[in-house]
Amino acid sequence: MSNYNSLNPQQKQAVFSTSQYLRIIAGAGSGKTRVLTLRLVHMIEDLGYLPHRLLAITFTNKAANEMKDRVETVLGDLGRQVWISTIHSLCVRILREDISYLDYPKNFTVIDGVDQRSILKQAYKEFEIDSKQFSYSAMLNYIGGNKGAEVTVERAYVLAGNHPGEKLKATVYEYYEKQLRKMYALDFDDLIIYVIKLFRANADVNQKWQKRFDGISVDEFQDIDHQQYELIRLLTNENTQLFVVGDPDQTIYTWRGADVNIIMDFEKRFKPTETIVLNQNYRSTKPILAGANALIKNNEYRVDKDLFTNNTSADKIIHLSFRNSEQEATWVASQIRTLVQDHQRYQDIAVLYRANYLSRALEKALNFSQIPYVIYGGIRFYERQEIKDTISFLRLLTVKDDLSFRRATQAVRRGIGNKTLEDVALLAAQKSLTMYEVCQQHMDYFSGRAQNALMKFMADLHTIETQAQDKSVPDIVGVVLDHSGIRQSLTEAKETERLENVKQLIGDAMSFVQLNPEADLNEYLQMVSLYGDTDVDATESVKLMTVHSAKGLEFETVFVIGMSEGIFPNERALMESGKRGMEEERRLAYVAMTRAKSKLYLTESSGFSFVANRVQQPSRFLDEIDEEYIIHKGVSNYGQIEEQVKTTIDDYNYQAKRVTQKHKYKTGDVVIHTVFGEGYVLSVEKVGIKIAFNHPFGIKTIATNHPSITLASKAEDPSSSKEYFDA
């Protein structure tokens, strides 16, 4: 039997409640994952529920894996029978079983963001669209938005009216949908849409899946959108126990469809609902938590809850104001160095920001100070070029779709150019075949070098197909690497890191097979397509990330930089959404603050922001934190702050470097500025360098050692540079 004695009263109430409909308002750091896990354990161990009739829905692979591990640790083999998955993985399982009711094959392909962009690139080429007119991201948002709102291609044309730009977007939407249908592929939006369509059109199928589950639990319920909610609703009947967990104060994804009203109005839709508030925080210290509480109380539309903690500390939140972003970044780097000298680990420190561009100055400062860091949310493992190339060959062993064919031909140099591929695609369209089938059945259509290159490629594919027969998934990956030319190409190019990545793919396949002994290549590729968690370097390093990326994480020390009006809160969010936008920005700040366990620094600078196009002022959120929980260090403290920066940077021989740069520039030098471009040095003074830039910038004085300027060359004759003086 499991031990529930360590649960607090509210957690016990949530675990043992017998209510059919249960809403848990789980504050930040309140142990919700533990509650979710132990409730499943209690239902199986104490109440006799069959584990395979319980469904737990999460929204990230990381969360799903963590819950699986916890349940299996307690229940062993019984725990492995519980349906614990992301909502997209659940949809794939449903569709693999019943999509045939929609006249779609069960071996459909799930495409990811990279594949989506490949389709758009083809569409842009065919319709002569410049990606500067409609970025791929904007077009995918348009397509996803239409799908989410159940706007068909036909309806999109109607809504476009006579507007040329909208009609062009509708044309791309139509092309995109036709390509998916042609490949028997679904994107992530389709997975949910198709299940909803399946259930609505087939009552018997819907009832079958409703009867399959006696209990459904949903994590992060504050972040679901209307389609996800509709899917959950369709999975329940009058006998289903529904257990949802979330925190309206942490709803930060409305820009991608999340609606805080869904969790707020849950008790109106499922009656009677029992609501339990988990308000004991186990993560943060009292000053941090009290400051975050004071901030979020300024939001009107929320479930009132006063989080408390027993973690005492004398360290208040510290707010620091700087003259510019460079000084702000330099201080953050110096303080990280101080923390590490006081025995804190790099990996326990995070720097959060509202937007990605804010990392620029910080990255320079960290590099200069030789502080290891990783940007959380960089290129994901399965999206790296060499991994995508290998996966394309693996897909050619199964579904043989056109996207994989195109990518595989370009994975290594083969002499197959765009013209040849377009000829293949054209013939495929004329004969209603895939590009693979055209090369298999109509090679006589081609001639010369194109024919030879295609024949060699198809021969390599045949070798791979032959060698891969009756082999395990890891061995198949090895066959592809050996006979596709990928391993040889990376080895010859001495691409050590990329070579290690493809080797890791074999290990990844091995791990998959160990966990799923009966799984085949199709199921492995399905897992790869669904995998969405960021591949983060686990070595000891400071973590840099947007606040959105920080959701669900925690660190001993957190720096939140860029706490200025127009940046945080974001001006565009306020302009577009007014009061609702302000409340979401405040929720975002609340999430940022509650990532910290023991130390929290909020920083901002007063320099001019080219992004916001304004002189920066401190964020209003800083004034909303009660004075008893925060220490403000502003202009009056600059001397002390600058001395601390100087002292710490001395440890990195900054002064020695500065001496060597003191006389780096001379009158007559030509320099390059990152914003103003090329300029001519008029004079070098103690306060800086006077430089004449091209029109319209004119003459400016730039700090001597500022990283924005670099030496280009020495002008032979100042009179030859007349354009510098025409400002």
Statement to judge: residues 196 and 250 lie in one domain:
yes
Are residues 134 and 245 both part of a single domain?
Answer: no
Verify that 500 and 550 share a domain, yes or no: no
pLDDT score, position 613: 60
Q: Which amino acid appears at position 562 of this protein?
A: G
Question: What integer is the mean pLDDT of 387-402?
Answer: 92
What number is the average pLDDT over the span 696-720?
63
DSSP lists the bridge partners of residue 558 as 350, 600
Percent of the chain with pLDDT over 70: 88
Range with the largest mean pLDDT of 257-261, 302-306, 595-599: 595-599
The verdict on 334 and 376 lying in the same domain is: yes
Q: Give the CATH number of the domain where residue 371 resides.
A: 3.40.50.300
Position 679 scores a pLDDT of 83
The answer on 625 and 542 residing in a single domain is yes
pLDDT score for 372: 87
pTM for this entry: 0.68
- Within a domain: 159: yes
Same domain for 37 and 84?
yes
Q: Does residue 165 lie in a domain region? A: yes
Whether 534 shows a pLDDT value over 80: the answer reads no
Question: 280, 301, 334 — which closes off a domain?
Answer: 280
Give the residue-averaged pLDDT of 59-87: 88
Q: Flag whether pLDDT at 528 surpasses 50.
A: yes
**Confidence (pLDDT) at 497:** 67
- Domain of 457, CATH number, reads 1.10.486.10
* 8 A C-beta contact, residue 328 and residue 561: yes
pLDDT band at 355 (very low <50, low <70, confident <90, very high): confident
Residue 652 lies in a domain: no
Burial of 595 (0-12, 13-18, 19+ CB in 10 A): buried
3-class secondary-structure state, position 135: coil
Q: How many domains would you assign to the chain?
A: 5
Percent of the chain with pLDDT over 90: 50
574 and 686 housed in the same domain? no
Q: Are residues 275 and 419 in the same domain?
A: no
- CA neighbor of 484 nearest in space, from 346, 381, 388: 388
Q: What is the mean pLDDT of residues 381-403?
A: 88
Residue type, 666: K
**Judgement on whether residues 506 and 405 belong to the same structural domain of the protein:** yes
Binning the chain into helix, strand and coil, the percentages to the nearest 5 are 55, 15, 30
Q: What is the pLDDT of residues 145-175, one digit of tens each?
A: 898 888 999 999 999 998 988 999 999 999 9
Instruction: Quickly state the pLDDT bin for 201 (edges 50, 70, 90).
Output: very high
Residue 661 domain-assigned (yes or no): no
The mean per-residue pLDDT over the stretch 557-572 comes to 91
Residues annotated as catalytic are 32-33, 219-220, 250, 595
Q: Are residues 118 and 166 in the same domain?
A: yes
**Nearest to residue 623, comparing CAs of 547, 543, 561, 565?**
565
Q: How confident is the model at residue 539 (pLDDT cuts 50, 70, 90)?
A: low
pLDDT given for residue 625 in this prediction: 94
The answer to the question of residue 304 being in a domain is: no
Q: What angle do CA 397, 402, 404 make, to 5 degrees?
A: 50
Alpha helices in 617-701 (DSSP H): 620-623, 638-650, 654-661
492 with 416, same domain: the answer is: yes
**pLDDT (0 to 100) of residue 652:** 32
449 and 502 part of one domain? yes
Among 280, 305, 329, give the residue marking a domain's end: 280
Task: State the pLDDT at residue 677.
Answer: 77
Residue 485 structural domain: 383-525
pLDDT digits (tens, 9 = 90+) for 78-122: 888 999 999 999 999 999 999 999 999 998 999 988 899 999 999
Residue 174, in any domain of the structure: yes
- Give the tens place of pLDDT for each residue, 549-564: 888 889 999 999 999 9
Whole-number pLDDT of residue 62? 83
Tokens read off for 525: 């590729």
Q: What is the mean pLDDT of residues 50-59?
A: 92
